[in-house]
Amino acid sequence: MINREQYIQAQQKTVDYMARAGIVLTPDEAQNIEVADFGLNRLHEIGLEIVVYVNTDRVCAKELVLFPGQICPEHRHPPVLDEPGKEETFRCRWGQVFLYIPGEASPQPAASLPRDKVDTFTVWREIILHPGDQYTLQPDTLHWFQGGPDGAVVSEFSTTSRDDADIFTDPEIHRITHLAESPAKNT
Amino acid sequence: MINREQYIQAQQKTVDYMARAGIVLTPDEAQNIEVADFGLNRLHEIGLEIVVYVNTDRVCAKELVLFPGQICPEHRHPPVLDEPGKEETFRCRWGQVFLYIPGEASPQPAASLPRDKVDTFTVWREIILHPGDQYTLQPDTLHWFQGGPDGAVVSEFSTTSRDDADIFTDPEIHRITHLAESPAKNT
C-alpha cells in the first residue's frame, strides 16, 4: 500500500504530464486522479494514473499517464454478464508507450521488467506507440504496457470499464488501491 | 456543394486547430479529415471538421473542429435496430463551444445564427464548454453547437456512429459531403 502523501505526489506529477500533452483538466478532475499501485507498493515500477472522463453502461473514455518506465501489469477484460468484455483503443498523445499483446514475441523488446516479476508477463508481441499512433484491443485479450523513457500520456476509448472484473496474471495484484495510514516504505 | 480546393483548405485549417490543442495526427489522419458542409455550401457558417479515431460496432471516438462561429446544425441520433441511439459526450479541448439542448431557453444565448436558418434551430438550453468541460447527451436528444470566437476543438466519446441515421431539423441538409467539380460560389 502506498500512503496518502505518495498518492498526492503522484496526482500532482500526473497533472504535469497532462499539461505537457496540452490536456486541460478541471480542478475537480485533478483532485480525483486515480493512482493505481495494484496493491504492490512499488508505484514507480508498476502503476498507472487515470482520469475517467465518462463511464456509462455503454461507453468509457479515460486519460492514462505512465511515468518513465512505469508498467501497467498484464491483464485481460473477460466477458461480463451477456457482454463480450471490454473493447479498448489506446491512442498515444504524448511520449511513448510499449504495448504487449499475444502473438510472435519481439526478439528484443523495448520494455524492461523488475526481475522478480518477469514470470507475471507472458505476452510479448510488441507494438510501440508514438504520439498519434493507436491500437484497438479485442475483448479478453491479455495485454500490458510500459511508459517510454519520458513517460506517456494515452487516451483510452472503450466500452464500459469494470475494473473489478479485470483478471491479472500476477496473483499478488489487487486492482483497487488502498492507502496505508503510516508512511510506506520507499519505492 | 463545396469544391475540392475548399475542402483541402478546410482540412489544412483543421490541422492548425488540432496543433493549437496539442493534438498530434498521423499524416494519414490529416489527409483523411472529413469536412462536412451538410450539403449547404456555406461551410464557414454551417459545417464541421472531423477526425474519426475509431468506430466499431460498440464504441466511437472522434476529434471535432469548429472554426470561429461555425455551426454544427441541429440533429438527433435516433434508435437503430435494437439499439437506443447514439450516446455521446462532448469534451472541449481548446477554445469554446456553445452547445444547445432541449430545456429552458437561454434568454441571451451566446450563439448567433444566419437569419435565413433561424427556423431550423428549435432547442435553446445553453451549455457553454470551456477547455476541460464536458457534457453527455442521452440518445435521441436534439442538439446543435457553435464554435466560439476563436473556434473550438472538441473530443467526442460515443457509442457507434451511424451518420446516415442522423435526423436533421433542416430538411435541406444532406449529411454526406459531395464535392462540386467546378469552383463553388464564395461562402
On whether the CB atoms of residues B35 and B10 are closer than 8 A, the answer is: yes
Check B61 against A136: CB less than 8 A apart.
Answer: no
Query: Chain-wide mean pLDDT for chain B?
Result: 95
- Classify residue B149 by burial, with Cβ atoms within 10 Å: 0-12, 13-18, 19+: exposed
Assigned domain for B186 exists: no
Using the Cβ of A57 and the Cβ atoms of chain B, whether some distance falls under 8 Å is answered with no
Check B58 against A87: CB less than 8 A apart.
Answer: yes
Using the Cβ of A28 and the Cβ atoms of chain B, whether some distance falls under 8 Å is answered with no
Test the A interface: residue of B29, B54, B135 with most A CBs within 10 Å:
B54
CATH value at residue A118: 2.60.120.10
Using the Cβ of A157 and the Cβ atoms of chain B, whether some distance falls under 8 Å is answered with yes
Assigned domain for B176 exists: yes
* Residue A187 clears pLDDT 80, i.e. is over it: no
Check A22 against B23: CB less than 8 A apart.
Answer: yes
* Percentage, residues of chain A above pLDDT 90: 89
A185 band by pLDDT with thresholds 50, 70 and 90 = low
B174 band by pLDDT with thresholds 50, 70 and 90 = confident
Domain that holds residue B155: 2-180
Q: Which three cell numbers stand for residue B133?
A: 468541460
Assigned domain for B161 exists: yes
Query: Which of chain B's residues have a Cβ under 8 Å away from the Cβ of A59?
Result: 59, 87, 89, 157-159
Using the Cβ of A58 and the Cβ atoms of chain B, whether some distance falls under 8 Å is answered with yes
Q: Mean per-residue pLDDT for A179-183?
A: 69
How close is the nearest chain B Cα to the Cα of A51, in Å?
12
Please name which of A11, A1, A7 lies closest in space to residue A40, comparing C-alpha atoms.
A1
Question: How many CB contacts within 8 angstroms connect chain A with chain B?
Answer: 72
pLDDT for the residue numbered A112:
97
On whether the CB atoms of residues A94 and A152 are closer than 8 A, the answer is: yes
Check B157 against A157: CB less than 8 A apart.
Answer: yes
Closest Cβ–Cβ partner in A23, A53, A94 for B89: A53
pLDDT for the residue numbered A183:
55
- How many domains would you assign to chain B? 1
Assigned domain for A69 exists: yes
Assigned domain for B147 exists: yes
On whether the CB atoms of residues B97 and B129 are closer than 8 A, the answer is: yes
Helix (H) / strand (E) element for B96: namely: strand B88-101
Check B53 against A134: CB less than 8 A apart.
Answer: yes
B182 band by pLDDT with thresholds 50, 70 and 90 = low
Using the Cβ of B26 and the Cβ atoms of chain A, whether some distance falls under 8 Å is answered with yes
Check A93 against B23: CB less than 8 A apart.
Answer: yes
Find the angle CA(A24)-CA(A26)-CA(A31) to the nearest 5 degrees: 115
Assigned domain for A24 exists: yes
Using the Cβ of A105 and the Cβ atoms of chain B, whether some distance falls under 8 Å is answered with no
The interface predicted TM-score (ipTM) is: 0.92
pLDDT tens by residue, B27-79: 999 999 999 999 999 999 999 999 999 999 999 999 999 999 999 999 999 99
Query: Chain-wide mean pLDDT for chain A?
Result: 95
Test the B interface: residue of A15, A17, A23 with most B CBs within 10 Å:
A23
Query: Which of chain A's residues have a Cβ under 8 Å away from the Cβ of B24?
Result: 93, 131-132
Pairing of the two strands B34-36 and A88-101: unpaired
Pairing of the two strands B34-36 and B48-55: antiparallel
Assigned domain for A49 exists: yes
What pTM was estimated for this model as a whole? 0.94
Query: Would you tell me how many other CB atoms lie within 10 Å of the CB of residue A67?
Result: 21
pLDDT tens by residue, A12-63: 999 999 999 999 999 999 999 999 999 999 999 999 999 999 999 999 999 9
pLDDT tens by residue, B86-139: 999 999 999 999 999 999 999 999 999 999 999 999 999 999 999 999 999 999
CA A85 to chain centre: 17
Q: Mean per-residue pLDDT for A122-127?
A: 98
Q: Mean per-residue pLDDT for A141-165?
A: 97
A1 band by pLDDT with thresholds 50, 70 and 90 = confident
Using the Cβ of B56 and the Cβ atoms of chain A, whether some distance falls under 8 Å is answered with yes
Assigned domain for A185 exists: no
Please name which of B66, B62, B64 lies closest in space to residue B46, comparing C-alpha atoms.
B66
